[in-house]
Amino acid sequence: MNLIKPKKLQIGDKIRIIAPSGPVEADKIELAKTYFEQKGYKVELGKHLYSNLNYLAGNDNERLEDLHEAFNDDETKAIICARGGYGALRLIDKIDYELIKKNPKIFCGYSDITVLNIMFYQKANLITFSGPMAQSDFGNEICTFTEDGFFKVMDGEPLSIPRYNSIVYNSGDAEGIIIGGNLSTITSLCGRDFVPDSKFMLLVEDLNEPVYKIDRYFTQLLAIPKFKTNITAILLGEFLNIDNQDYLKDFFRSLSKELNIPIISGYPISHSKTKETVPIGAYGYLKDCVLEIKNYTA
């Protein structure tokens, strides 16, 4: 695959904020807009950003229009998603991936935005970013760790992501394309062509999921032959508000014996305020439990 690397973000560039998933809180979006403007960036809000249709940020056509317009605008250099929730999955069969290929930009989000990160890699060859969002991060008091990491990645600096307070369920070195984000959201892509054709490392986190569902998600993903054949490592972020930590540890111990690939916890990928910004679709190396990624921007 001929990967497309977005250009680095520079002071004075225009950032566009869109909401491909759930409805937003206007006051927090305005705080995020002010935050980026004070940093020296121009900010434009998607035309339908404040639309609201039950649990969606407007209907599918409105959310899709904002997505397409953001990529089609030559002045926009980065697209920051407002929030997750639900809704991005409804768009993936309607997206013009050729438009995205021809107009590559920084695209950043996590949680429900995971489906777009993965499909932009798979269908448009574009490296995107699992990282902070306008409402949930920049519209609140931003965590210094998250802020520093975001701007280092936007500047294309080589990434070195260590583990914190971790368990090494199965040690070893690995390499491959970085794919991942929110585990339950990734599983929602089953039935679609989302699995990389080359070797990949899976980086995952989740929130408010009982352990039996985490077991189910992995079982479902690993039932895909190409997924099980091509995966080289599982790097675990935070699994917040889990019903039973002992069950979770037992499950990953069992999985490590079954797969015999590196499975390591403790990476700062999370729904919490503290999170790394990770290039999805970039090539990474796992050595001595440290994830190294470079050359992911143009």
Nearest CA among 62, 69, 68 for reference residue 24: 62
Nearest CA among 36, 40, 54, 1 for reference residue 196: 1
Catalytic residue flag (residue 171): no
Alpha carbons 130 and 118: distance in angstroms, whole number? 10
Q: Which of 21, 48, 68, 111 is catalytic?
A: 111
Q: Which of 68, 265, 271, 276 is catalytic?
A: 271
284-to-74, 106, 160 alpha-carbon distances in Å: 30, 19, 10
226-to-77, 136, 178, 199, 222 alpha-carbon distances in Å: 34, 34, 16, 10, 9
Q: What number of residues does the chain have?
A: 298
Catalytic residue flag (residue 111): yes
Neighbour tally for 98: CB within 10 Å: 10
Give the angle subtended at the CA of 226 by the CAs of 223 and 229, to the nearest 5°: 90
The alpha carbon of 46 is separated from its chain's Cα centroid by a whole number of angstroms, namely 20
Q: Which of 62, 205, 209, 238 is catalytic?
A: 205
- Catalytic residues, by residue number, are 111, 205, 271
